[in-house]
Each structure stands twice: as C-alpha cells, then as structure tokens.
C-alpha cells in the first residue's frame, strides 16, 4: 500500500487542508503532513508554530504524522518512503500552478505520482490567506479553521 505526503505551507492550517488530509489518510492509510519551511515566503506563523498547529489539528487522524521539510518535495517524499503526493484542488485558479508542479516533479522523480483530490464544496472558497484577512479585521473564523488555529490567530492579531 503506497503512503502519501500532503505538502503545504499551512500558514495556518484550515478545515480545507484538514479535509484533504483526512481523505488521504482514508485512502492511503499513512499520511505525512509536510510543513514547508517556506524560505522566501513571508508567513504569519513561524515554522514551529505552524508545525504545532498542524500537529494538534491532525492528532485525531490515525495514520497522520507531521514533519517539517525544506528543499525538493520529491526528495523529501523519497526519504519518507512515500510514493504519492496528494494535493487539494479548489477552483480553476489552482490548476495551472499545480499542473506545472506535478509535471516538474514527475520529471524529477518518475516513480512518484501526484494525486489531486477535489476540494469539498464547503471548503472550495477557503484559503489560509482569506482566513488571515478575516481574522486581521476582527471577523469570525469559526468553522473555517480548527479551534487551536482560531486561538492562534486571535493571539497574533490581538491589539
Ligand atoms: P498555498 O498553496 O495557497 O500556499 P498551502 O501551501 O498551505 O497553501 O496549501 C497546500 C495544499 O492544500 C495545496 O494543494 C492547496 O491546493 C490545498 N488546499 C488549500 N486550501 C484548500 C481547501 N480549502 N480545500 C482543498 N484543498 C486546499
């Protein structure tokens, strides 16, 4: 049975990410949630904070573990003995970028497949950046992110 890697920046993890992780765990049994260090990206949460929020959020999903990574995703997948990269696809806008990444990764590592799961309709509109925008201006993110993330966001934007 192949095991899977679910990569992302997770700045922060949302219920949309969680849905993809849960469905991957259901399909593949084992899922490594790969938290990208995000060099060159300005993130709201540090990599340690993002890792901790992901770890707490996936603690109820059996077969899921969290690992921080940097460098090439396909190398990381090999190190983790994973042969499938699972990505969530929202609207058409995700497609072009994801298609390009999948083809580049296929060229680098032909033995590793990228598999796309369609976003669940209720999370189709949900993104980390949208959640940060709402939280920044004092809106409610209940139902969009796990409780620990809600607390983390209010800690960041308090005052
Ligand atoms: P981004 O790619 O916007 O920086 P992430 O790196 O955290 O965000 O996203 C990791 C993966 O999760 C990507 O494959 C992305 O398409 C997917 N994803 C993000 N939000 C959702 C969502 N609401 N539903 C399904 N998949 C999602």
| Dihedral of alpha carbons 131, 129, 69, 6, sign | positive
User: 61: which DSSP letter?
Assistant: S
State yes or no: is 41 an active-site residue: yes
From the candidates 3, 17, 30, 132, which is the catalytic residue? 17
Burial of 1 (0-12, 13-18, 19+ CB in 10 A): exposed
30-85 pLDDT, tens digit per residue, is 999 999 998 888 999 999 999 999 999 999 999 999 999 999 999 999 999 999 99
**76: phi then psi, degrees, rounded to nearest 5:** -60, -45
17-38 pLDDT, tens digit per residue, is 999 999 999 999 999 999 999 8
Edge-to-edge strands, sheet with 84-89: 64-69, 31-36, 4-8, 84-89, 113-118
Output the CA–CA distances (angstroms, integers) from residue 155 to 42, 55, 59, 91, in the order listed. Answer: 18, 18, 22, 31
Q: Does the beta carbon of 43 sit less than 6 angstroms from any atom of ligand 1? A: no
Give the distance (Å) from ligand 1 centre to CA of residue 127.
Answer: 7
Give the distance (Å) from ligand 1 centre to CA of residue 46.
Answer: 18
Residue with more model confidence, 133 or 159: 133
From the candidates 90, 120, 127, 156, which is the catalytic residue? 90
State yes or no: is 81 an active-site residue: no
Residue 106 in tokens: 């296929």
Q: Does the beta carbon of 90 sit less than 6 angstroms from any atom of ligand 1? A: yes
Q: Which of 4, 6, 8 to mutate to test the pocket of ligand 1 (most atoms within 8 A of CB)?
A: 8
Q: Which of 104, 105, 109, 156 is nearest to 128 (CA)?
A: 156
Establish whether the linkage from the previous residue to 36 is cis, with ω within 30° of 0: no
Q: Does the beta carbon of 8 sit less than 6 angstroms from any atom of ligand 1? A: yes
120-150 pLDDT, tens digit per residue, is 999 999 999 999 999 999 999 999 999 999 9
Q: Which residues contact 131 (CB under 8 A, 6 or more apart)?
A: 12, 14, 141, 144, 145, 149, 153
Q: Does the beta carbon of 38 sit less than 6 angstroms from any atom of ligand 1? A: no
């Amino acid at each position: 049975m192949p095991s899977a890697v679910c990569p992302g920046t997770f700045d922060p993890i949302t219920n949309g990410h969680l849905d993809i992780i849960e469905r991957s765990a259901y399909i593949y049994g084992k899922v490594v949630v790969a938290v990208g260090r995000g060099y060159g990206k300005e993130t709201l949460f540090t990599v340690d904070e993002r890792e901790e929020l992901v770890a707490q959020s996936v603690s109820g999903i059996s077969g899921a573990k969290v690992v921080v990574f940097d460098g090439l995703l396909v190398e990381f997948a090999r190190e983790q003995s994973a042969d499938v990269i699972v990505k969530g696809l929202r609207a058409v806008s995700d497609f072009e970028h994801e298609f390009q990444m999948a083809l580049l990764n296929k060229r680098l590592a032909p033995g590793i497949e990228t598999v796309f799961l369609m976003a669940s309709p209720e999370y189709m509109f949900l993104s980390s950046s949208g959640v940060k925008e709402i939280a920044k201006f004092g809106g409610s993110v209940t139902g969009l992110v796990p409780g620990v993330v809600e607390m983390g966001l209010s800690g960041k934007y308090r005052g």
